[in-house]
Amino acid sequence: MTAAGRRVLVGRIVGLYGVQGWLKIESWTEPRTQIFKYQPWLLSSAPDQATEIKGITGRPQGKGLIAKLPEVDDREEAAALVGYDIYVARELLPPPGKDEYYWVDLEGLEVVTTEGVMLGRVTHLFATGANDVVVVKDGERERLIPFVQGVYVRSVDLSGGRMVVDWDPEF
State residue 41 phi and psi, 5-degree precision. -85, 150
Low-confidence ranges of the chain (pLDDT < 50): 1-4
Q: Is 72 exposed, middle or buried (0-12, 13-18, 19+ CB in 10 A)?
A: buried
pLDDT in tens, 32-71: 999 999 999 999 998 788 999 999 999 999 999 999 999 9
Residue 2's pLDDT is what? 43
pTM: 0.79
Which residues have CB under 8 Å from 136's CB, separation 6+? 111, 119, 120, 121, 122, 123, 142, 143, 144, 145
103-165 shares the fold of 3-92: no
What is the separation, in whole angstroms, between the first and last Cα of the chain?
29
Residue 46's pLDDT is what? 87
Residue 169's pLDDT is what? 93
Say which CATH topology domain 103-165 has.
Answer: SH3 type barrels. (2.30.30)
Which residues have CB under 8 Å from 55's CB, separation 6+? 39, 69, 70
Q: Where are the domains of the chain?
A: 3-92, 103-165
CATH number of 3-92: 2.40.30.60
In angstroms, rounded to a whole number, what is the distance separating the alpha carbons of residues 162 and 108? 9
Residue 66's pLDDT is what? 98
Residue 57's pLDDT is what? 98
In the chain, % helix, strand, coil (3-state, to 5) comes to 10, 45, 45
Preceding peptide of 47 cis, ω within 30°: no
Residue 70's pLDDT is what? 97
Residue 68's pLDDT is what? 98
Residue 1's pLDDT is what? 40
Residue 47's pLDDT is what? 75
Nearest partner of 149 among 163, 168, 137, 135, judged by Cα: 163
